[in-house]
Amino acid sequence: MWKYYPELLERPVPRYTSYPTAADFDNDVGAAELEEALGQVKLCDDISLYVHIPYCDQICWYCGCNTGRANRTQRLNAYMTALFGEIELVARDLGQCGRVKRIAFGGGSPNAISAHDFAALVDHLSDAFHLADPVQSIELDPRSFTPEWRDVIAAIQIGNVSLGVQSFDPAVQAAIGRVQPLDMVSDMVDDLRGAGVSSLNFDLMYGLPGQTVETLIETLEASLALKPDRIALFGYAHIPTLIPRQRRIDDSILPDAKQRFDMAATGYNFLIDAGYQAIGFDHFALPTDPLGRAGLNRAVRRNFQGFTDDQSDILIGLGASAISEFPGYIIQNEKNSGRYRALIDQNQLAAVSGVKRSMSNQVHGAIIEEILANGEADLTPLGPVSGQAESLAPYINRGLVEIVDQRVHLHESAKPYARTIAAAFDEIRKASTGTFSQAI
């Protein structure tokens, strides 16, 4: 179904988990703007919370997340104290407004902290905010999963869990510094299902060192045997100049561009044939899962957590490096955990950078999101489509895209080019290359 047009994939482009992107943040937006945005939240507004735990028991070499080793109890305790303090500051500025409909815990690995501390964190959120029976999600590392964590997930009734799997091939695992046997993940899945988890996601990757189409298929087969409700199949982004830990990866055995494309295409076809619904360009969900239903109804959204069925326009990030998103602002907390703690200790919000979203940003951002999430978008707000047709000509001429009645529509064969197609509507960097990942 997919044809390889390397010239359409040459330009590195953002993942567009926001628009403007994090590359456009500056220090002119910070704590004052976050306080302003929080003060404008209405009593009946739906809110999603994201809580960031920037620690892992073991650091994987490929990982680009803001995370460090969880090898000092004092460091973890100090971070949790600051996180509780930030929760209180944000709740103060909200003034009991807003209804929390979703809570996502990410990292790093939230299970780098103890199950007891996690339960205390959930209690703190419950005391500080108006929780309206929220959907709760968490990312977990199988290597540090314990019976205590199983019990707390059951007690708190967390319904959505995402596991970092990446690959089940032992050689690939060794090459990326993430060794976790299949039995470890299988036992964990049994525990999570027994704890009441109804939506289970596996994060998988292609383009890893030493990986082949054959070993990717073996990982997909092993994954399907465990019956996850969702699968995210990401392309590994090798940027060692920006992510020093990636220098431990032998880049001489990384798949080339064509091999990456073949892996992405193989994974896509394999999962579709297995009954999964394609969500955007790299997520998959069973039709019975809420994300799968959103895909069928063209109601998928995209935010910093990837493709989602979350419809809220207000996302409040808590923790070091966490990002908050409002219609008029995108605002990021201090990334460094030590400086983050210092700001909270001074009774200050930890927001230090971001961007004010102009109306033009919002219009272009909505189009980019619709293209990526649902494969089509209304171009009417941009006026005459002649300019858009010109910028999309390489895709139109190859039968990947069409514009009909002021709407751009991506055919299924356009999936691997979705990010570069969306980039045609990026008013900030039309001619820029930037330091971004490969589009596939």
Mean pLDDT of 148-160: 98
Res. 219: pLDDT tops 70: yes
Q: What is the pLDDT of residues 184-216, one digit of tens each?
A: 999 999 999 999 999 999 999 999 999 999 999
* Residue 319 CA from chain centroid, whole number: 16
Confidence (pLDDT) at 436: 60
Q: What is the 3-state secondary structure (H, E, C) of the chain?
A: CCCCCHHHCCCCCCCCCCCCCHHHCECCCCHHHHHHHHHCCCCCCEEEEEEEECEECCCCCCCCCCCEECCCHHHHHHHHHHHHHHHHHHHHHHCCCCEEEEEEEEECCHHHCCHHHHHHHHHHHHHHCCEEEEEEEEEECHHHCCHHHHHHHHHHCCCEEEEEEECCCHHHHHHHCCCCCHHHHHHHHHHHHHCCCCEEEEEEEECCCCCCHHHHHHHHHHHHHCCCCEEEEEECCCCCCCCHHHHHCCHHHCCCHHHHHHHHHHHHHHHHHCCCEEECCCEEECCCCHHHHHHHCCCCEEECCEEECCCCCCEEEECCCCEEECCCEEEEECCCHHHHHHHHHCCCCCEEEEEECCHHHHHHHHHHHHHHHHCEEECHHHCCCHHHHHHCHHHHCCCCEEEECCEEEECHHHHHHHHHHHHHHCCCCCCCCCCCCCCC
Residue 41 near residue 94 (C-beta atoms within 8 A): yes
pTM: 0.94
Mean pLDDT of 139-148: 96
Q: Would you say residue 296 has pLDDT above 90? A: yes
Q: Is the pLDDT of residue 14 over 80?
A: yes
Q: Are 360 and 427 in contact (CB under 8 A)?
A: yes
For residue 435, what pLDDT is reported?
Answer: 53
Predicted local confidence at residue 439, as pLDDT? 66
- Give the pLDDT score at 70: 82
Per-residue pLDDT at 26: 96
pLDDT tens-digit readout, 83-117:
999 999 999 999 999 999 999 999 999 999 999 99
Q: How confident is the model at residue 437 (pLDDT cuts 50, 70, 90)?
A: low
Give 388-411 pLDDT, tens digit per residue: 888 899 999 999 999 999 999 999
Model confidence band, residue 361 (pLDDT cutoffs 50, 70, 90): very high
At 432 the pLDDT is 45
What number is the average pLDDT over the span 352-363? 97
Strand partners, 22: none
pLDDT on residue 117: 97
Q: What is the pLDDT of residues 62-80, one digit of tens each?
A: 988 878 888 778 999 999 9
Q: What mean pLDDT is reported for the chain? A: 95
The tens digit of pLDDT for each residue in 243-268 reads 999 999 999 999 999 999 999 999 99
